A and B are shown apart, each in its own frame.
Chain A
Amino acid sequence: MSPIVPNFRKASREAVRNSQVIAAVRKTANLLSGMMALAVANTPDFEALRNYGRTRKLEISGDLEKYAQSFAANAQAAGAVVHRAKDAAEAARLAIKIAADNGAKTAVKGKSMTAEEVELNEALEAAGVTVTETDLGEFIIQLANEKPSHIMAPAIHRSRAQVAELFTDRLGTPPDLSVEALVAAARKELREKFLAADMGITGGNFAIADTGAIVLLSNEGNIRMATTLPRIQLAVVGIDKIIPEMADMPKFLALLARSAAGQTISSYLSIVTGPRRAGEEEGPEQLHIILLDNGRSRIAKGPYREILHCLHCGACLSHCPVYRAVGGHAYQAVYPGPMGSVLSPLISGLEIYADLPNACTLCGRCAEVCPVCVPLPDYLRDLRSDVNKPPLMMKMAAFGAHTPSLYRLGMIAMRQMLKKGVKGLMAPALKEWTVCREPPEPQAGESFRDWWKTRSHGQ
């Protein structure tokens, strides 16, 4: 586990100064949100689809264990080996055992935030398995020894020039390559890894309860490689990814593809039901599925249940003004941005991520774009009740603020103080306010209440 205690104030203070990162984040976030808007505008029944998504997800999160058991039984019947992991540590142990039992020394991996949650790479590497990330964004950050900064666009914080420099440094490519040339270099480098790997590791965008299928989306083709070439396949899937029936899938896919990248469907859609069957020339000999709980069953029973409906499309990140101002790393969590500010404290502990529910202006953009209508701002506001201890000043102010005479005195005092200089209990708040602003300036002249009084007497 990382020894760093997350501190959003400190991390964000540094992040806003990193203009290169912020420019890269903003450029991509703008493009992604633009593409989503266009795709949504071209889908006449998108609101109906969103409502369907929310309603269906409410059924699922209301009975998570039933669907998990049904999925496990059907996946086993199709020949997969299903493992249930109650937490990240158990999932990592299971993955290491699967690799060891099969003598797997090399693995190619598709992008999976669930695997990040489990810290799967670190665990497997420590057990002697070489893991190569194959999603281009993940490959870039693996070369740079970084963490993803966006759940859909992991290398969103890096510019083309920085990627070119990294490739020159780590892969020996000529300097300052174009995007096309960088992609070609990655293709060449990774093709060999795909053909040689013992194990393919993926997440799962959906898991279908009634057939036991794992559904995987990708645009690059790396997921197809990882689910077709190696002799062992491992899918690490959160139990929140389960949907009841195959018939639900096209609708959730429509929501996810539009919200993630403004697509109708991704370039590749792979529906994986069990391992290779008799007579087939492709596919793994064994398919292992680790169903990860890691707090999800607990969350499903609590007041923040709908966060489990999240499709991990990343739209709330790309649209969030705070995320766009600081980038993903400032959150110091596997899941950043609005969905992450809800999910990270719920998974890892409120005390660890107490800053995150506060790191939001409640602007409401995330709820507006969420494809399954997760009430993110409401959840962030409610989480503040769980993490914040109201300061003494606020408690005192609360007493004054509903007592009309005290309130009136307070308003007068505030005017006077702002005119003559702030002291006492207000001083700490003003000190933070003036980090980037001058103190508020009350208008000169009589107060509204005085004006009203004179006026009513005059009439």
Chain B
Amino acid sequence: MILNQYLAKAQGVGVHVELLSLSDLNRRLAALVGELKAKSVALPLIGWPEPLLRTVKTEVEKCGSATVSPRRRMDGSYEWNRSALGSANLGITFCGAFIAETGSLAFPSGPGLGTLASLLPETHLALSCAKDCRPDLGGYLAEFGADIPSRLTFVTGPSRTGDIEASMTTCVHGPGRVLHWIITGDFS
């Protein structure tokens, strides 16, 4: 029910949203990476269900693309290689919560969670588990209680502007194309 509401909302704001099974993921990823001729893919490694990350990483590398990920330093903190990140033309992120009411993807910050992967490349692919759909923004915010991350980012469709003659145009500073693949079935 709320998943249907999410699908309608997300499509309404221009997200290419699809439901697919884990077994379909390899084929679909290969097609996307091929279509984009993505030489380099931004891929934060933290927070994923393990089978999902394994599939993504294996498939991207199989396609001959390099992955750019936040690197773990000796002291346990993470850092991006910003120039490598800047050249990635696809960002793949795990989205652990998406909001039916608004059609939004939620990305809390945290060590290794790398929200720049959903911002700098021209195409952003978010992967989620169907069970992670939330009814509304207020309810999701309440989940954090007093423990709000330093950056909580909601992405609702592509980067867009109407600043020239109110003519809606995408891909201003962020991605012009946002894909959201929601993986069905229990695999975690």
Q: Which of A28, A184, A222 makes the CB contact (< 8 A) with B165?
A: A28
Known: A220-B159, A225-B119, A282-B80. A160 touches B172 (CB 8 A): no
Asked if A160 meets B165 with Cβ closer than 8 Å, knowing A136-B172, A186-B172, A265-B154, the reply is: yes
Asked if A183 contacts B161 (CB within 8 A), the reply is yes
Does A155 make an interface contact (CB < 8 A)? yes
A274 at the interface (CB under 8 A from B): yes
Known interface pairs A183-B169, A221-B172, A278-B77. Does A160 touch B164 (Cβ–Cβ under 8 Å)? Answer: yes
Asked if B78 is an interface residue, CB under 8 A from chain A, the answer is yes
Q: Which residues of A contact B159 (CB under 8 A)?
A: 219-221, 267-268
Q: Is there a chain A Cβ closer than 8 Å to B49's Cβ?
A: no
Q: Are B161 and A264 in contact (CB under 8 A)?
A: no
Separation of A419 and B130 alpha carbons in the complex (Å): 79
- The reply to whether B160 and A270 contact each other, CB–CB distance below 8 Å, is no
A-B interface pairs (CB < 8 A), number: 190
Is B1 among interface residues, defined by CB-CB distance under 8 A?
no
| Complex contact B111–A228 (CB within 8 A) | no
Q: Which residues of A sit under 8 angstroms from B166, Cβ to Cβ?
A: 27-28, 31-32, 153
B161-A136 in contact (CB<8A): yes
Contact call A282/B148, Cβ cutoff below 8 A: no
Within 8 Å of chain A (Cβ to Cβ): is B65? no
Residue B82 is within 8 A (CB to CB) of chain A in the complex: yes
Q: Count residues of A near B (Cβ-Cβ below 8 Å).
A: 68
Contact B167 A179 (CB under 8 A): yes
Give bound CA distance, A31 to B160, whole Å: 16
Chain B contacts with A in 107-126, Cβ cutoff 8 A: 109-116, 119
Asked whether, in the complex, the Cβ of A153 is within 8 Å of the Cβ of B162, the reply is yes
Given contacts A160-B164, A278-B77, contact A246 B110 (CB under 8 A): no
Given known contacts A250-B141, A274-B150, A220 and B173 CB-to-CB distance under 8 angstroms: yes
Flag if B116 contacts A265 (CB, 8 Å).
no
Q: Which B residues touch A266, using CB under 8 A?
A: 156
Give the size range of B's interface with the partner: 35 or more
Whether A272 lies near B151 (C-beta < 8 A) is: yes
Chain A residues whose C-beta falls within 8 Å of the C-beta of B116 in the assembled complex: 228-229, 282
1/0 per position for A71-90, CB-CB distance to B under 8 A?
A: 00000001100000000000
Asked if B157 lies at the interface with its beta carbon under 8 angstroms from chain A, I say yes
The 0/1 profile, CB within 8 Å of B marked 1, for residues 306-343 of chain A is 00000000000000000000000000000000000000
Cβ A280 vs Cβ B169 within 8 A: no
Given contacts A246-B141, A266-B156, A282-B114, whether A211 and B148 have CB atoms under 8 Å apart is yes
Q: Would you list which residues of chain A between 250 and 274 have a CB under 8 Å from chain B? A: 250-251, 253, 261, 264-274
Residues of chain B contacted by A98 (CB below 8 angstroms): none
- The answer to whether the Cβ of A366 comes within 8 Å of any Cβ in the partner chain is no
Known contacts A225-B119, A271-B151, A276-B150; is-contact A281 B173 (Cβ 8 Å): no
C-alpha gap A159/B166 in the complex (Å): 10
In angstroms, Cα B160 to Cα A283, docked, is 23
Q: What A residues does B142 contact at CB under 8 A?
A: 246-247
Whether A137 contacts B173 by the Cβ 8 Å rule is no
Residues on the B chain within 8 Å of A186, using CB: 172
Q: 0/1 per residue, A19-63, Cβ < 8 Å to B? A: 000001001100110000000000000000000000000000000
Which residues of A lie under 8 Å from residue B138 when comparing CB positions? 247, 250-251
Whether a CB of chain B sits under 8 angstroms from the CB of A191 is yes
Complex Cα distance A24/B167, Å? 12
Residues of B within 8 A of A183 (CB): 161, 164, 169, 171-172
Which A residues touch B175, using CB under 8 A?
Answer: 221
Min CB distance A440 to B, Å, is 39
Task: Judge whether B155 and A267 touch: CB under 8 Å.
Answer: yes
Tell me if B163 is interfacial: C-beta within 8 Å of chain A. Answer: yes
B136 at the interface (CB under 8 A from A): yes
Q: Is B185 an interface residue (CB 8 A)?
A: no
The reply to whether A160 and B82 contact each other, CB–CB distance below 8 Å, is no
Measured CB to CB, the nearest residue on chain A to B119 is A224
Contact between chains at A228 and B115 (CB < 8 Å): yes
Return the contact of A264 from the options B70, B76, B103 (Cβ within 8 A). B103
Q: Is A95 an interface residue, CB under 8 A from the partner?
A: no
Interface string of A157-188 (1 = CB under 8 A from B): 01110010000000000000001101110110
Chain A residues in the interface with B (C-beta under 8 A) = 24, 27-28, 31-32, 78-79, 134-137, 140, 153-155, 158-160, 163, 179-180, 182-184, 186-187, 190-191, 194-195, 211, 213, 219-222, 224-225, 227-229, 246-247, 249-251, 253, 261, 264-283
Q: Known contacts A221-B175, A267-B155, A268-B153; can you find 8 more A-B pairs with CB under 8 A?
A: A79-B150, A183-B172, A220-B160, A228-B151, A246-B142, A268-B174, A271-B151, A283-B150
Closest 5 CB pairs of A and B: A221-B174, A279-B111, A137-B163, A221-B173, A220-B172
B residues in contact (CB < 8 Å) with A:
9, 13, 70, 76-80, 82, 86, 101-104, 109-116, 119, 136-138, 141-142, 146, 148-167, 169, 171-175
21 contacts between A and B (CB under 8 A): A24-B165, A135-B163, A140-B164, A155-B164, A180-B169, A182-B164, A186-B172, A191-B173, A194-B173, A220-B160, A224-B174, A250-B136, A265-B137, A271-B151, A271-B153, A273-B148, A273-B149, A274-B150, A277-B150, A280-B111, A281-B114
